[in-house]
Amino acid sequence: MDAAIQSDGKSGGIQCLNAVHLKILACTFMLLDHAWITLFHGSQWDWMTCIGRIAFPIFAFQLVEGFYHTHDFNKYLKRMFVFALISEIPFNLMDSGSFTSLLHQNVMFTFCLGLLFMRYMEKRKAKGTVRYIIAILVVLIVGFLVGTFTFVDYGGYGIWIIVLFYVTRDLRFGKLIQLLGMLYINCEMIGGRELIVNLAGKELFIPEQGFAVLALIFIWLYNGKPGPKSKAIQYACYAFYPLHILILALIAMLRAG
């Protein structure tokens, strides 16, 4: 779900995943989560949604990379918004079983907001460090409120995750800040239901959303390269979102009926 990414010289070491690899992984994790929501029920299938938590941070990271490397921001935003509109009815069918829902909007609207807030911060960055820091603080507050009260997927916390990857992209200790930020946002702020894991005879209570932190493993393996570049691959990744949730929603409706 990101724009064409050019190599930025980050390749090397064990960084072996390109942008296409990340897309495929994120789409797979997302599919597992949505399949759990629609088709698989019972605690024996909880592993699917735990793995599914990994998807959003990878998409958020790719959104930041796409923002930095797109040749046309307006075209990028427009494409994201069009697919957000296309995805809304399938998302509503999956999420609530109805064609309309005012209380939960699909994740592509979250990404549209993320792009707008990054554009705002980027413009302030060019005017000096102080204005840039103020812009970050403004986005953390305003972005959280906008994300929450527009009811986009992941709400204000989704905006925070996007901002986290944007701000830390070129920082010397960016990975450490990403780790701490992801732990705080996902484990402390979002949390969710706790899963009991037995380890060496001890019970550990892990918040379901905490599994999102594992996305950093794949993100840190990113080598900065786009992988095979083609419009077909690019639009297939965009189209995968509405198509797979529509198919899952229809299957669930047929099973229920």
Instruction: Tell me the mean pLDDT per 10 residues along the chain, length 257.
Output: 43 78 98 97 91 98 97 97 98 95 96 98 96 98 98 98 97 96 96 80 87 98 92 92 98 90
Q: In whole angstroms, give the CA distance from residue 191 to residue 87.
A: 27
Residue 231 pLDDT: 86
Q: Fill in the DSSP letter of residue 197.
A: E
CA–CA dist 179, 200 (Å, integer):
25
Using DSSP, state whether 15 is helix, strand or coil.
strand
pLDDT value of position 204:
81
Counting beta carbons within 10 angstroms of the beta carbon of residue 240, is it exposed (0 to 12), middle (13 to 18) or buried (19 or more)?
Answer: middle
Task: Give me the helix-helix angle, 73-95 and 55-69, nearest 10°.
Answer: 160
Please measure the distance between the N-terminal and C-terminal CA atoms of the chain and give it in whole angstroms: 33
149/73 Cα distance (integer angstroms): 25
Can you tell me the distance from the alpha carbon of 41 to that of 46, in angstroms, rounded to the nearest whole number? 8
Task: Give the model's pLDDT for residue 1.
Answer: 54
Sequence-separated (6 or more) residues with CB below 8 Å from residue 252: 38, 39, 94
Q: What is the pLDDT of residue 15?
A: 84
Angle between helices 55-69 and 155-168 (to 10 degrees): 50
Eight-state DSSP code of residue 180: H
Check: pTM over 0.85? Answer yes or no.
Answer: yes
Residue in 28, 34, 25 with CA at minimum distance from that of residue 220: 25
What is the spatial distance between Cα 67 and Cα 74, in angstroms, rounded to a whole number?
A: 10
